[in-house]
Structure 1
């Protein structure tokens, strides 16, 4: 496995994790539908709409430093349902088990970048450093500074960035591409499944049905309809204590702001057509034509 370490991440935890044969890993870049997918998978596997406990307890982020390794491992060891575990690591930083199910979700990278900018504003850096220091036996790495530039400059900086991946997948377009490439190269494996945020938005019922089939969960029409209704962002927003990770205030200043955006963001008005086309060309060079066209969904990888 490739090792990833960053201010929030320690991929070496996976080396010490005790797996079960039927574990489900939800592995996505940040702001690409991770929480959305966790919520849907949880309803399918736990057979309940009333979770009764925070998302970070039902589906822990295993390699995140917001909780101690001991706490995360004990939480997972105590679970009696089929476990579904969150990570933002690329698949090359995770154990490869033929019996595990790997669920990945990707989104247009510019949508993800703008959503990540909003989320960064919703975090208190000093509090996060203090939290990470308290629950881990080592000093935390310095957190990245808040974006000080306007959204257009922020996007341009990330599009051109060649920052070394640290396991959080959102340091720039090359970092995002590293995560996409690791999943795309394994897309034909029977237990590795790629979902797209836009396809979930446009056909949630179809994607819930697909996911149920992949997990071996039988759905009648009534239950299928109920899960789809409960999985809309409008239905999730009022239940932030159950649907938002770390909604207790330990990570986010305002849990209700977690679902602030969603859908397609306003980057077409921030960048020129040539700049947008350039994103497609650079992504194509990083991951290949087919993967770039798939993740962009709008043909930008083929323009020009």
Structure 2
């Protein structure tokens, strides 16, 4: 049950604090990382579960000024975001792919709202991050206003920014689609759930230590960070006819990446040959991305629990059957059928 302490957020969206009982219930379910926050919040529309630092940065995120040559990769978590970031970065820089060998992806492509997932004190203790922040934004910039957010704003204008976000359209600038291109990636809910379970175990911000069974139920109830997958995708579905929105599925990319990339090239109005498209596809092949990460590793919004493996796990489809019981599969399939009927679309959604 939600807390009665609900109000209009700083950007006009409705913000609701979860109750102490609900927070304790999530911790008991296995989300041990939530013991380090005083509360969680839900943001409407979409009933999006977020960490409380969102409140301090909501207005800046809502009013973030996108540029006309920005390319925004928007997804629900674990739906192919990192893959699409690398693909788009490569498509816009086909002659400079080797730069990825020494510069990690999250320094070549910006995670717009990552500050809300991060403890400010931890950021202030990261000397390398602060050095990059000061170099990009100057001594007068305030870390509490969002370190990565301000670095995204300050990025040079001579090349297109590739910006990643898991926020939905209502939480971002209303001129986003009128100003720049957005690629929205979807994925089968079962595989996304499995991957998000691993992510929640890996990242100490969440420090999930419960069973997959309990995580899957939290996932279906929208009680994971960023909320319900269908509610998230609904914001893209409602805008599906906008010429600056391209919706593609993780599964379609797996099935025929060159065909998908050709459509993305056309959508972005780029000029690439078939050979260049194949080169970018190979550049962003899972095994190549994993190899590069060992040389120029990603940095995360919180410490990584090495005992849970690595960020680059399998990069495939069909992982649900290996971890779910028949009873859980029946429950998940019933939920998928119900949510599909309610929303008017099925996942994975592919309109590209």
Structure 2: segments with no counterpart, 5+ residues:
1-10, 15-42, 44-48, 124-142
Equivalent residue in structure 1 for 2:111, among 58, 61, 66: 61
By how many angstroms is 1:61 displaced?
1.1
Aligned residues: 267
Larger Rg: 2
By how many angstroms is 1:276 displaced?
4.1
Structure 1: segments with no counterpart, 5+ residues:
126-143, 297-304
For the residues of structure 1 that align with 2:64 and 2:218, how far apart are their CA atoms? 36
Cα contact 2:189–2:348 (8 A) shared by 1:
no
Query: 1:267 matched to which residue of 2?
Result: 320
**Residue 88 in structure 1 maps to residue 161 in structure 2:** no
Query: 1:182 matched to which residue of 2?
Result: 235
Equivalent residue in structure 2 for 1:41, among 88, 93, 108: 88
For the residues of structure 1 that align with 2:165 and 2:213, how far apart are their CA atoms? 29
For the residues of structure 2 that align with 1:184 and 1:244, how far apart are their CA atoms? 34
Higher strand share: 2
For the residues of structure 1 that align with 2:342 and 2:169, how far apart are their CA atoms? 17
Cα contact 1:204–1:228 (8 A) shared by 2:
yes
**Residue 284 in structure 1 maps to residue 340 in structure 2:** yes
Q: Once superposed, what is the RMSD of the aligned Cα atoms? A: 2.9
By how many angstroms is 1:293 displaced?
5.5
Matches within 5 A, 1:64-213: 64-65=114-115, 66=118, 68=143, 69-79=146-156, 80-97=158-175, 98-125=178-205, 144=206, 146-149=208-211, 151-159=212-220, 161-163=221-223, 168-169=225-226, 171=227, 175-213=228-266
Distance 1:242 1:107, change over 3 A: farther
By how many angstroms is 1:96 displaced?
3.0
Matches within 5 A, 1:239-250: 239-240=292-293, 245-246=298-299
Normalised TM-score (structure 1): 0.77
Deviations 1:41-78 (A, max 9, x none): 10111332123422222211111214642443234423
Query: 1:31 matched to which residue of 2?
Result: 78
Cα contact 1:114–1:265 (8 A) shared by 2:
no
By how many angstroms is 1:15 displaced?
3.3
Q: Secondary structure at the match of 1:258?
A: coil
For the residues of structure 1 that align with 2:233 and 2:242, how far apart are their CA atoms? 15
